[in-house]
Chains A and B, each alone.
Chain A
């Protein structure tokens, strides 16, 4: 009650200030009049009475001021004054204001843009109920290797047997699906989810319903839940979307519901457009699902294809849940290992390794970590670069303020002389800085959102699009405000303290003559410019290293010639080919394509070059005793005839795989140098034998017939593992797709059409997918490196530009200030060239000191970049030299205009001016 009364009184004095002031005047006037009346009654003349009354009253304005102060809003009034005054000052020098605001906008914008990516990819919590209760299941073995994938039977056991979870969900990313609605086809990103996925997460359909237990049944009508975005773009937000018939990869589905707009699935960066039950995977990816085979994803206990997330029961802890799940999981993987027996990629080692995994729980409130692992380093690095850029921008603005401060000395001196406290002056100057930062922040946010959208586009490529949900939200705006405030402190506080420390008499006397009364002002701006040059060098060197990394990766010889190779994949199982029919089919396709003009070689393989993954299995090599701790795993690829000729991988000894290496011919393999080195050292491996224990019907030994150079088939970075290439038709039955490699003498893209037609002629039911050139695939695999190199180069360029502007400003200021001195020098006979040297020399000294400091800094900072680099050291001589040279050129350019101005000083004018 009392509080309410107080608030009421205070609000009245706040919002009805004019009236309150008027009432105060009336009240005091009444008092004065009473006093006068009393004085008159006491016998004074009216004139005398008035004077006496005023005398008693004292300083009326001070009294009013004190009364107003008791209202408690004085600080607000002063802020209002500061703001009004600050705006007026900024309007008075529009050039300064525009440069300062735009400079800050660049710095703040860069930070906000990168932060919005960091936020979307790494920080933001999932938009689900109580995300802190969510845990992601993963498993880890003794060597610390983790596995995030689980089989459907394992998922079922964990779901049914646990006592600690209120929910357990599994999901599987389907990648891009061909989505046809209303007769129009489009690619959609799909996922398969377990029945209680949506209810466990607490995500409600905004229209229709989500997937229920009844839907998770192979015989149920196939259903799909679509995203808000798809509902908008394909169904115009019509309520009739529910019940609509759609076609996914050729299979009919019925739309049952729409996801809310804020929910995109559990993997940041992989926005989901359509969700279907796990049991419907067989309809859209029949080859992968391998229904009714030993590899059936719904029954095979060793097919790990699901991510699992658990929601703990209220009051349960992570460790309780782990203790509860561990025995269930162990039982499940024991069964899985037993179930593997006799199938492809099985071996005692693989089975043992499989059974060694133990279950772990990881906080899942931010979703899965694949994207986080992939992007956290480059994003952190970019954020660091952006903050250095902001620092450079702040230095520029600080210098502008210092220069601007010199021209305001008279005004400041006057204010100080009239009794303004130093704190009050600092506050005034800081208010101006806050206004600048607010302007910069506002423009920066706009820049950032335009920028982050293009960034997301830049990072995504045709097949595995990274789609991050970046949109302006309170967190990001709060970040911008924070960054702007930090910027104010960095660029504003220092000059403000400096400017308010004036020698008054000196300032008032000299300010009119355009001289600096603050001691060492130019030394300080010079210091700032040197810091700026050093920071720019660090950014330029960083950008240079990343550009070189990208070049190195592009120029790196991966063990095959990527030019003029077209890749395409087919899934034979989709149309029901058995393994024995495949040989004829593939040879037919291969022969037809080989006869096309412009084609020089054709082959096919299970794993295509740089697909990002490969199959590993244990090998037992004749006459080789594994050393303790030795990893017997080798990578195995199944390849068609003339595979190495097609890709341009050199056969070092022995032979390529030939047409007559068939199912019934002797089992052979071609191995890579790494495998030869690992198992045979310097001895000749040709004619030696090895076996892959556990393959179906394959007790025989595999004879090594050739050695090829190491080729990077997983990714360009990293070590090449020991690898064996086995003839395609000698491989065990497999559910994997096959990739064809076509080498051409003409532009491979032009072949795409005819290759498609030829395949369709052979069998018109065979769909082609992933058609693209090998060079494109390499480019795609470097998308992250390219994005980071591009952005850091952009930051480097902006940094150079800002430094150039900063150096120019300081040099121009110093020349203007020394006009008089230069005039005297010239009058005394100094050569124009001498004057040029004087000015340029000064600039060059700053540049060199800056560059030297920068080199030391970049060598130190470079250590943190090692993980991002490829085939280049952090302290890379050529890069540092090139960056230093670039900075010195930029510095020279920045000094040239002021130097020319100095050279043209007319001694007569300069002296008269004085």
Chain B
């Protein structure tokens, strides 16, 4: 029983950081946003999302704040810290390099 859309752990961190880089979001919204933007290709499992969020929080890359959501309920909003923003830039750059390299290999035959 494999998990079809399991993401490589480092990649999930990058997606989370990128997703909340514009505005603070709660867990549900982060999952939805990734799903939407990727054109439903990337499905983030809750089982990976929340441990990842807590891990990033422990690393102080993101910080959490409880605030009222659109529906009027209290929800936990995550936002980037300065260190998180730096980390995002680093990981994004890494990702570009890596994907470009993979592309090169895959498309050259």
Contact = CB atoms under 8 A, between A and B. Distances in A.
Interface string A56-83: 1111001100110111100000000000
B46 A63 contact: yes
Contacts of A63: 46-47, 50-51
Contacts of B58: 6, 9-10, 13, 70-72
Contacts of A6: 58-60
Contacts of A71: 54, 58
Contacts of A13: 58
Interface string B48-65: 001110110111100100
B50 A28 contact: yes
B16 to A, nearest CB: 13
A27 interface: yes
A69 B50 CA distance: 11
A24 B57 CA distance: 13
Interface stretch (A29-37, A565-573, A695-703, A887-895): A29-37
Interface stretch (B74-82, B91-99, B100-108): B74-82
A622 B66 CA distance: 111
A357 B69 CA distance: 93
Nearest to A29: B73
Contact of A30 (B28, B45, B55, B83): B28
Contacts of B74: 26, 30
A184 B45 CA distance: 88
User: Which secondary structure dominates chain A's binding surface?
Assistant: helix
Interface residues of B, number: 26
In which size bucket is the chain A interface? 20 to 34
Contacts of B75: 27, 30
A69 B76 CA distance: 19
A462 interface: no
Contacts of A34: 28, 71
A33 B75 CA distance: 11
Contacts of B71: 34, 37
A30 B76 contact: yes
Given A31-B28, A35-B28, A69 B46 contact: no
Contacts of B50: 24, 27-28, 31, 63, 66-67
Contact of A27 (B45, B55, B76): B76
Contacts of A62: 47
A5 interface: yes
Contacts of B26: 27, 30-31
Nearest to B60: A5
A513 to B, nearest CB: 41
B28 to A, nearest CB: 4
A2 interface: yes
B27 interface: yes
A23 interface: yes
A67 B73 contact: no
A31 B46 contact: yes
Contacts of B57: 9
Interface in B12-62: 26-28, 31, 45-47, 50-52, 54-55, 57-60
A70 B50 CA distance: 10
Contacts of B47: 57-59, 62-63, 66
Contacts of B28: 30-31, 34-35
B45 A58 contact: yes
Contacts of A69: 51
A897 to B, nearest CB: 59
A166 to B, nearest CB: 52
Contacts of B76: 23, 26-27, 30
B54 A31 contact: no
Contact of B83 (A2, A33, A58, A70): A2
A5 B46 contact: no
Nearest to B52: A70
A36 to B, nearest CB: 11
Contacts of B27: 27, 30-31
Nearest to B29: A34
B89 to A, nearest CB: 15
Contacts of B81: 5
A588 to B, nearest CB: 96
Interface in A741-778: none
B77 to A, nearest CB: 10
Contacts of B31: 31
Contacts of B59: 6
A70 B54 contact: yes
A6 to B, nearest CB: 5
Contacts of A33: 73
A9 B62 CA distance: 11
A20 to B, nearest CB: 9
B68 to A, nearest CB: 11
A69 B52 CA distance: 11
A30 B49 CA distance: 14
Nearest to B43: A56
Contacts of B55: 70
Given A30-B76, A31-B46, A35-B28, A2 B54 contact: no
Nearest to A20: B54
A34 B35 CA distance: 15
A122 B27 CA distance: 65
Nearest to B66: A23
B46 A67 contact: no
B81 to A, nearest CB: 7
Contact of B54 (A37, A59, A67): A67
A69 B81 CA distance: 22
Interface string A631-651: 000000000000000000000
A746 B50 CA distance: 96
B3 to A, nearest CB: 10
A275 to B, nearest CB: 60
Contacts of B69: 30
Contacts of B73: 30, 33
A708 B69 CA distance: 112
A10 B60 CA distance: 10
A396 B88 CA distance: 60
A794 B75 CA distance: 71
B91 to A, nearest CB: 16
A70 B49 CA distance: 12
Given A27-B76, A34-B28, A9 B51 contact: no
Nearest to B86: A2
B98 to A, nearest CB: 25
A900 B75 CA distance: 74
A705 to B, nearest CB: 98
Interface string A15-47: 000000001101110110111010000000000
Nearest to B81: A5
Contacts of A28: 46, 50
A71 B50 CA distance: 12
A57 B44 CA distance: 11
A37 B73 CA distance: 13
Contacts of A72: 58
A23 B81 CA distance: 21
A30 B73 CA distance: 8
Give the most central of B31, B58, B60, B75: most A CB within 10 Å: B60
Given A2-B60, A23-B66, A62-B47, 7 more contacts: A30-B69, A31-B27, A31-B50, A63-B47, A70-B52, A70-B55, A71-B54
Interface of A: 2, 5-6, 9-10, 13, 23-24, 26-28, 30-31, 33-35, 37, 56-59, 62-63, 66-67, 69-72
30 contacts: A5-B60, A5-B63, A5-B83, A6-B58, A6-B59, A9-B57, A9-B58, A23-B66, A24-B50, A24-B54, A27-B26, A27-B50, A27-B75, A28-B46, A30-B27, A30-B28, A30-B69, A30-B74, A30-B76, A31-B26, A33-B73, A34-B28, A34-B71, A37-B71, A56-B46, A57-B46, A57-B47, A63-B46, A70-B54, A70-B58
3 residue pairs, one from A and one from B, having the closest CB atoms: A5-B60, A70-B55, A70-B54
Interface of B: 26-28, 31, 45-47, 50-52, 54-55, 57-60, 63, 66, 69, 71, 73-76, 81, 83
